[in-house]
Amino acid sequence: MELPVIDLGPYLECSAKFIADGAPKTPLGLDDLGPELRDLCSVVSETLRDTGALLIKDPRCSAEDNDRFLDMMEKYFEKSDEFKRQQERPHLHYQVGVTPEGVEVPRSFVDEELQNMINMMPEEFRPSIPMGPDPKWRYMWRVGPRPPSTHFQELNSEPVIPEGFPEWKDTMDSWGSKMISAIEVVAEMTAIGFGLPKDAFTSLMIRGPHLLAPTGSDLGRYGDEGMVFAGYHYDLNFLTIHGRSRFPGLNIWLRNGRKVEVKVPVGCLIFQAGKELEWLTAGECTAGMHEVVVTKQTIAAIESARLKNQSLWRVSSTLFAHIASDAMLKPLGHFAELPSSSKYPAMCAGEFVELELSAINLKGKKKQEVS
């Protein structure tokens, strides 16, 4: 199945024109958008609702930017384990620096309820069941400002920069902030599409614990068909965005239960709906289930990379955008009137994240997403 690609250009142009027209303090209202852009916002919210995912093109996030980021991360993940372990901070619960392979545990490996659900799925749509922890590395890099005071104090750890990478900070910050900008626009368009105020989501994202968390999977070692790099799971944050990976392998599950292998076109970014978005919409938009496995298409890409002497590390430029830890997570606007809203009680987003992590026994071990 081909997901539609949403070009953010026209929406950005409209926003810029409105601001340039001299009313920067007045929010861009529905009337300013015109029928075509309003329809586009509906396509965004409906696609997220029906597929849990969204493909976009943002003129501010170029294929060259993505390549620069992937090139640096491939160079890093290709370093020896000894080198990479210098950036490991287990005493800080891996909240910064590198997380080696074999540490992250997929929810489907520990959650019996999820395992039962999987066993009841038709075989053709059933996810691959991982046999243990994910065999992928990850690097954690915080993006954006943090709150001056919070009830959910994160460790104030210094960011970790590997030796021999003078471009590290610039590359991480620049790609991270570009992806956050794309998320903010999609969050606005989703809010409008759902009939909420434009800033319904973005106002809750301010000073959220956003995290750039690229993964590296060694397809030279683990390139056999069916190898699970990220077991079947949902993301617990608000929205996740990835740049295009050089190796396919992402499967998503549509709302109707169908499993789909996603093809991300060059220059595009892919979004996935997280559990915080599900909470804010009382389940209208459920968190998208997904997995990353070695497929026939991955193997074809491995062969092609081998012939061209290119890196066999599959880098995923994942960024997790969160609702601010102290903001209230509860169904918004008309979603609060839905009967399903009782399943989504109000609580601080930080408390929600802690509950999710304790459900999979990772509280204290890792404070962030497991994916």
Question: Site residues (CB under 5 A) for Fe ion?
Answer: 235, 371
CB of 8 to Fe ion, least distance (A): 22
Please state, in angstroms and rounded to a whole number, the distance separating the CA atoms of residues 298 and 262: 12
Using the minimum distance from each CB to Fe ion, give the nearer residue, 187 or 319.
319
Q: Is the dihedral of CA 69, 320, 104, 253 positive or negative?
A: negative
Distances from the Cα of 321 to the Cαs of 39, 184, 235, 353, 359, in angstroms?
A: 25, 9, 10, 13, 21
Using the minimum distance from each CB to Fe ion, give the nearer residue, 65 or 235.
235
**Type of residue numbered 162:** P
CB of 290 to Fe ion, least distance (A): 6
Using the minimum distance from each CB to Fe ion, give the nearer residue, 87 or 371.
371
- Counting Cβ atoms within 10 Å, is residue 20 exposed (0-12), middle (13-18) or buried (19+)? exposed
CB of 313 to Fe ion, least distance (A): 18
**Residue tagged 């509860």 (tokens):** 330
CB of 244 to Fe ion, least distance (A): 16
Contact predicate 58/179, CB 8 Å: no
Nearest residue to Fe ion by CB is: 371
Q: Which of 171, 149, 148, 151 is nearest to 159 (CA)?
A: 171
Using the minimum distance from each CB to Fe ion, give the nearer residue, 171 or 251.
251
CB of 139 to Fe ion, least distance (A): 15
Using the minimum distance from each CB to Fe ion, give the nearer residue, 183 or 192.
183
Please state, in angstroms and rounded to a whole number, the distance separating the CA atoms of residues 77 and 214: 10
CB of 234 to Fe ion, least distance (A): 7
DSSP assignment string, 289-341:
PEEEE--HHHHHHHHHHHHTT---EEEE-EEEE---TTSEES--GGGGGSGGG
